[in-house]
């Protein structure tokens, strides 16, 4: 159980870390604006270690993302941004011949990487593309999705062409709320043709392996806001992870996290990167984090003590439930345990 065995006056999540790898949407910003405390916390984290970014969002180039981060007060070079289109190109290079024509569903971020990889881009299935690559962009609509479906009508096992999706995030946080992500658009094509895409980005391992290799990381820490992509992917890659509650996943999702998606750390916001992470003690279904204690008694989850900080209560509740190895639907959970006082867009 990753949360256990830390002294209350002991190390912070950053102790021993040589490279911080941060997701963007829901961790650093929502839409164009930075999330509260993100910029100052990440700049402080840069002291004594490298800071880089991993993003599933395929709509912008690495240079564009770096420029945006720099404008927000996080000086960043394009080389410090690892994108899902870059991971997609590495996969594609193993599947089709150099210089092949590729049908692109997506925006500038994907178009730029296709060109850098030496492939020829098309938007039409009539150009006999050797593969389809699909990524998120706000401008993607019916016409692009239809061209993908036309190009992919023959199943791959019957001689059809490969289909690579940069990522399958169902949603993307924006300043006005949560909007459909690339997974929703990939699902539309899947529904039309009955085929599944090969996924390049999180939660698949290649994008993490590229980041670790690029920055020579020996003890990286990944920061994410989604359990099903960020934390699952980090766990698959053997990387320590911190879930920050400023994006998509909420306390109720944390309590329900299956074993493969449980983070090393749970943070209310990025300021807690610099605080000693409290000891989480668990015995016979009773978990205590500082003043917060939660007990599992049969099918009931009971709050023994709330403590002084909502994040400690959530940490205790998660540890108690996770320690049983049982699914969340097997418990009666008090509403107070999944209350949500944490910032989100």
Digit-coded pLDDT (tens) for 214-236: 999 999 999 999 999 999 999 99
| Run means of pLDDT, 10 residues per run, the chain, 345 residues | 49 98 95 94 97 92 96 98 94 95 96 97 98 96 98 95 94 85 96 96 91 95 96 98 96 97 98 98 97 98 97 98 95 96 77
State whether the Cα torsion 106-235-219-276 is positive or negative.
positive
50 and 93, same domain (yes or no): no
Is 73 part of any domain?
no
pLDDT of residue 9: 61
Is 5 part of any domain?
no
Is 295 part of any domain?
yes
174 and 291, same domain (yes or no): no
Last residue of a domain, one of 199, 225, 241: 199
DSSP 203: T
**Burial degree of 300 (CB within 10 A; 0-12, 13-18, 19+):** exposed
Q: What is the average pLDDT value for the chain, to the nearest integer?
A: 94
- Which helix (H) or strand (E) is 107 found in, with range? none
Q: How many CB atoms lie within 10 A of CB 213?
A: 10
Is 25 considered catalytic here?
yes
217 and 331, same domain (yes or no): yes
Alpha helix positions (H), the chain:
38-45, 62-72, 84-93, 108-116, 142-151, 182-193, 206-215, 232-236, 251-255, 310-324
Q: Which of 18, 25, 169, 308 is catalytic?
A: 25
Domain of 28 in residue numbering reads as 19-56+204-338
178 and 282, same domain (yes or no): no
CATH number for the domain including 31?
Answer: 3.40.50.1000
The CA distance from 128 to 161, in Å, is 10
146 and 224, same domain (yes or no): no
- Indicate the number of domains in the chain: 2
Q: Which of 9, 23, 228, 249 is catalytic?
A: 23
Q: In this structure, what token pair is assigned to residue 307? A: 């403590």
CA within 13 Å, CB half, 37: 14
Last residue of a domain, one of 160, 175, 199: 199
The angle formed by the CA atoms of residues 46, 55 and 268, to the nearest 5 degrees, is 60
332 and 241, same domain (yes or no): yes
């Amino acid at each position: 159980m990753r949360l256990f065995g830390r002294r209350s006056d002991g190390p912070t999540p950053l102790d021993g870390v040589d490279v911080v790898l941060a997701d963007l949407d829901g961790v650093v910003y929502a839409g164009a604006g930075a999330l509260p405390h993100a910029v100052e916390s990440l700049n402080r984290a840069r002291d004594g270690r490298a800071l880089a970014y991993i993003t599933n969002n395929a709509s912008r180039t690495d240079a564009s993302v770096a420029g945006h981060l720099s404008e927000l007060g996080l000086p960043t070079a394009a080389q410090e941004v690892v994108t899902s289109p870059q991971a997609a190109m590495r996969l594609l290079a193993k599947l089709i011949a150099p210089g092949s024509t590729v049908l692109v569903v997506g925006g500038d971020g994907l178009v730029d990487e296709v060109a850098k990889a030496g492939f020829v881009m098309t938007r039409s299935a009539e150009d006999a593309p050797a593969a389809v690559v699909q990524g998120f962009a706000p401008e993607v609509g019916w016409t692009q999705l239809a061209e993908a479906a036309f190009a992919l009508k023959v199943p791959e096992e019957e001689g059809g062409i490969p289909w690579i999706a940069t990522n399958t995030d169902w949603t993307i946080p924006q300043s006005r709320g949560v909007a459909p992500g690339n997974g929703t658009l990939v699902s539309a094509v899947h529904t039309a043709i009955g085929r599944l895409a090969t996924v390049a980005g999180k939660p698949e391992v290649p994008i993490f392996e590229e980041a670790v290799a690029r920055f020579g990381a020996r003890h990286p820490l990944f920061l994410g806001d989604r359990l099903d992509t960020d934390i699952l992917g980090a766990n698959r890659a053997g990387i320590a992870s911190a879930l920050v509650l400023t994006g998509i996943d909420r306390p109720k999702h944390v309590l329900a996290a299956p074993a493969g998606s449980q983070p090393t750390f749970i943070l209310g916001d990025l300021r807690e990167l610099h605080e000693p992470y409290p000891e989480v003690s668990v015995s016979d279904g009773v978990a205590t984090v500082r003043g917060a204690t939660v007990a599992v008694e049969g099918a009931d989850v009971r709050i023994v003590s709330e403590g002084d900080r909502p994040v400690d209560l959530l940490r205790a509740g998660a540890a108690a439930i996770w320690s049983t190895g049982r699914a969340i639907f097997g418990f009666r959970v008090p509403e107070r345990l999944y209350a949500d006082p944490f910032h989100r867009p």
